[in-house]
Copies of this chain bind each other. A is one copy, B any other.
């Protein structure tokens, strides 16, 4: 049963927080993009870890986590507004320790973890001492069908022995543990009851980090990586099972619904930044004496269209967040699917227009636009491709009209 989540702050308090964080993001994070090390994660990470200290000392650490676990305890709607601020920088969420996939792992460990699991895995994660990953996608099976997978866990006395092949395991590089989706009950009649989630420390014998998969021209590093993982008879104690056997799919749902809205919130931030860059560029780039780009009607069309879609997206995301706060993610699943595909497409459109307004500079890695253009092409694919979400919305709608397909 879903617990209603109440807002943490009054409107004024929240606005004050948002304003401070906006200032922090602008003065502390934006300049990092210009630094020589911007594209060199090895040099960048220690700097980001310095910024994390400031965030902690400002009392902003893990804003989405309940106070009893050391966070601020923001509601989904409040966190949405904050996340839209953080998303303006590619480093915002990491610096606040609310980056994917760790944020999702924190959530399920809080909800389903045993005290031992929480002690061993959750606490250092919350503290930002370690990072984690979530092993779900497999190269041999279509991600659109979550009940098909090849990774198997066999119970051998007090241990699970897990073997399988995962990829697009985000953040796996340098992670300390991986929560692995695997079949424990492959012969269960209910296809949604076959999988479980098992926590596998990354130093487990047989756990092989094959490679960071190069994506969009980047090899990736640390939390900003997507890895291929081979599990060869990884033996972990039975106590590493998360929740109960056969509950893997149900727990994944708990995680994925909010996970999707978190992406949408972050995209709002990216769009805001790309839009700011676009308008600024249009307002200042001369195309001839006494005429700037912004005087071209086509550019005006783009500014207006982006503004309108961002207005739409923000209202929808916050409305959906409110519904999650009040009724839970399950009740909001139609809205979540709608914002997932709507926002992903808006994101791509805003980035595309902003690039076009910047001309050749727009595709250089001198600007963050290129980074987002390359990496957020995945937005229409990860956590459910557009087509999957559209079919899902349609089926929920059709049900109300009496057709169950």
Interface residues of A (CB under 8 A from B): 39, 137, 139, 141-145, 148, 167-168, 213-218, 279-280, 282-288, 292-301, 303-305, 307-309, 311-313, 315-316, 319, 334-335, 337-339, 341-342, 355-356, 359-366, 370-371, 373-374, 377-378, 380-382, 385-387, 389-395, 397-398, 401-403, 405
A378 near B390: Cβ-Cβ < 8 Å: no
B301 near A298: Cβ-Cβ < 8 Å: yes
- Of all chain B residues, the one with the shortest Cβ separation from A292 is B403
Known: A148-B288, A282-B398. A338 touches B304 (CB 8 A): yes
B377 near A373: Cβ-Cβ < 8 Å: yes
- Of all chain B residues, the one with the shortest Cβ separation from A375 is B363
B301 near A387: Cβ-Cβ < 8 Å: yes
**Distance, CA A394 to CA B357, complexed state (A):** 14
Secondary structure of the A contact surface, majority rule = helix
Report the 7 A-B pairs with minimum CB-CB distance, sorted nearest first: A217-B217, A300-B394, A312-B312, A304-B390, A214-B365, A304-B393, A283-B403
Among A145, A319, A390: residue with most chain B CB under 10 A: A390
Partner of A360, one of B143, B364, B392: B143
- Of all chain B residues, the one with the shortest Cβ separation from A339 is B308
A356 near B341: Cβ-Cβ < 8 Å: no
A381 near B401: Cβ-Cβ < 8 Å: no
**Distance, CA A405 to CA B300, complexed state (A):** 11
A405 near B311: Cβ-Cβ < 8 Å: no
Q: Nearest chain B CB to A249's CB is how many angstroms away?
A: 15
A307 near B338: Cβ-Cβ < 8 Å: yes
Known: A292-B403, A312-B312, A338-B308. A214 touches B364 (CB 8 A): yes
Known: A217-B218, A377-B355, A394-B299. A308 touches B341 (CB 8 A): yes
Q: Residues of B contacting A397 with CB < 8 Å?
A: 279, 303-304, 307
Q: Nearest chain B CB to A139's CB is how many angstroms away?
A: 7
- Of all chain B residues, the one with the shortest Cβ separation from A337 is B304
A294 near B405: Cβ-Cβ < 8 Å: yes
Partner of A297, one of B284, B296, B360: B296
